């Protein structure tokens, strides 16, 4: 009986130590998340009209202190006098360079919004460069140009 009691106390002590270690690890993760700060944010608005619909996308590119970034799209869609709003992270990944200064920033996209699933999904990493000139990033895709200004 003493052996069983001893084993039970050892197991209880191990469980308590494991629980304490797990709580400490969770606190460390929370500390890491809360210590990530915004380094720079770029913001731009454009106006697109197509087939009687007007889409006004707002684009926000945010760089964080852990060298991650995200590109957020906010849409206001006007069709037949009705307004629909949508907001989503279009892509996310990591970057090199200093977004607080003029110069080249290399973005490595690791996640992209999937129109079919309506979710941000992991993709094969791909890199591209953006140039910051006078606090602005200008990008063109499919004939649409937008300038994002550092905030």
Segment 5-50, tens digit of pLDDT: 343 333 333 333 333 333 444 444 455 557 999 999 999 988 777 7
Q: What is the mean pLDDT of residues 118-147?
A: 88
pTM flag (> 0.75): no
Residue 30 φ/ψ region, left for φ over 0, alpha for ψ in the -120 to 50 degree band, beta for the rest:
alpha
Q: What pLDDT, on the 0 to 100 scale, is given for residue 61?
A: 96
21-35, 64-78, 98-112: least confident range: 21-35
**pLDDT at residue 142 in the model:** 64
Lowest mean pLDDT across 66-70, 85-89, 139-143:
139-143
> What's the rounded mean pLDDT across residues 43-59?
80
Which residues have CB under 8 Å from 69's CB, separation 6+?
A: 61, 62, 63, 92, 93, 94, 95, 107
Average pLDDT in the 102-116 region? 94
Contact (Cβ atoms closer than 8 angstroms) between residue 47 and residue 59 = no
- Asked whether 105 and 97 are in contact (CB, 8 A), the reply is yes
Query: Within a 13 Å sphere around the CA of 47, how many CA atoms are in the beta-carbon half?
Result: 3
**Residues linked to residue 40 through DSSP beta bridges, in sequence order:** 63
Dihedral sign for Cα 46, 48, 53, 59, please.
negative
């Amino acid at each position: 009986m003493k052996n069983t009691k001893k084993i039970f106390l050892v197991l209880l002590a191990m469980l308590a130590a494991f629980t304490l270690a797990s709580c400490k690890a969770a606190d460390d993760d929370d500390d890491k998340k809360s210590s990530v700060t915004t380094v720079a944010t770029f913001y731009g608005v454009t106006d697109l009209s197509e087939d009687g619909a007007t889409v006004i996308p707002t684009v926000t590119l945010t760089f964080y202190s852990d060298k991650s970034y995200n590109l957020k799209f906010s849409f206001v869609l006007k069709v037949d006098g009705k307004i629909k709003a949508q907001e989503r992270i279009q892509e996310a990944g990591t970057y090199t360079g200093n977004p607080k200064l003029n110069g080249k920033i290399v973005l490595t996209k690791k996640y992209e919004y999937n129109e079919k699933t309506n979710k941000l999904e992991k993709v094969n990493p791909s890199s591209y460069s953006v140039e910051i000139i006078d606090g602005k990033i200008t990008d063109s895709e499919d004939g649409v140009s937008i300038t994002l200004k550092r905030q």
